[in-house]
A and B are shown apart, each in its own frame.
Chain A
Amino acid sequence: QQQVKQSPQSLIVQKGGISIINCAYENTAFDYFPWYQQFPGKGPALLIAIRPDVSEKKEGRFTISFNKSAKQFSLHIMDSQPGDSATYFCAASKMSGGSNYKLTFGKGTLLTVNP
């Protein structure tokens, strides 16, 4: 049972273009939605996160769009750069006691930004 579905599996974008990665979730109890970025040979690192009380969150070139009714959220990378080439994971969890103990991850998207 896959609770968080991520697409596409891989994405190739030209430098300066917009990268869009989508995720859909099933559990309506989820209330925390982070995106993680992972470079080869490294551990994942938090990129940006959103809670369902807002529909969009922007940090620099990275934006999360959130659609609660559709149970979908997406990551937009504006002006994509070769240094953005990495694997991106969406995740979701239900906060419990102020902590997100059980993150459920999507399967990941390998982003390649060509120079």
Chain B
Amino acid sequence: NAGVTQTPKFQVLKTGQSMTLQCAQDMNHNSMYWYRQDPGMGLRLIYYSASEGTTDKGEVPNGYNVSRLNKREFSLRLESAAPSQTSVYFCASSGLTDTQYFGPGTRLTVL
């Protein structure tokens, strides 16, 4: 099992460009999450999907959109990137237990 995979690993964008971060899990988990991690800020929840077909806002949703494509995949889209969105983005998933399993992250720089 690969667990939670994320693509790309690194990305550099110019202000105003758009991009989609991809996440997939092979653990048959119902719930999936997107977090951002900034120095000294911990992890902050952007959006989550409790189950296939549902999505909800987290703590910092502004400037982002998400799609739960199917049970395996949960994507995060930046429509018009801003320097404030420079961060490391983590996808996570959880199943019947309490544990959230995190992917390796995507390091995004917006110039």
Chain A interface (Cβ within 8 Å of chain B)?
6, 9, 32, 34, 41-46, 49, 89, 95, 97-108
Collect the chain A residues with CB atoms within 8 Å of residue B90's CB.
Answer: 43-44
> Total number of A-B contacts with CB less than 8 angstroms?
62
Known: A43-B4, A43-B105, A44-B90. A100 touches B100 (CB 8 A): yes
**Does B19 touch A at the CB level, under 8 Å?**
no
Verify A101–B43 contact, CB threshold 8 A: no
State the CA gap A98–B90 with chains docked (Å).
23
Determine whether B102 belongs to the interface, using a CB cutoff of 8 Å to chain A. yes
| A106 and chain B: residue at smallest CB distance | B42
The smallest beta-carbon distance between A22 and chain B, in angstroms, is: 15
B24 CB → nearest A CB, Å: 14
- Interface majority SS (helix, strand, loop, mixed), chain A: loop
CB of B45 closer than 8 Å to a CB of A: yes
Q: Which of A46, A89, A100 contacts B42 (CB 8 A)?
A: A89
- For window 55-111 of B, CB contacts with A under 8 Å fall at 56, 58-59, 90, 92, 94, 96, 98-105
Q: Which residues of A contact B2 (CB under 8 A)?
A: none
Residues of B within 8 A of A9 (CB): 40
Which chain A positions have C-beta within 8 A of B102? 43-45
B103 to chain A, nearest CB (A): 5
Could you pull out 26 A-B pairs where Cβ atoms are within 8 angstroms?
A: A6-B42, A34-B98, A34-B99, A43-B90, A43-B104, A44-B90, A45-B102, A46-B99, A49-B99, A89-B42, A89-B43, A98-B96, A99-B30, A99-B98, A100-B98, A100-B100, A101-B31, A101-B33, A101-B56, A102-B58, A103-B43, A103-B45, A103-B100, A104-B59, A107-B41, A107-B42
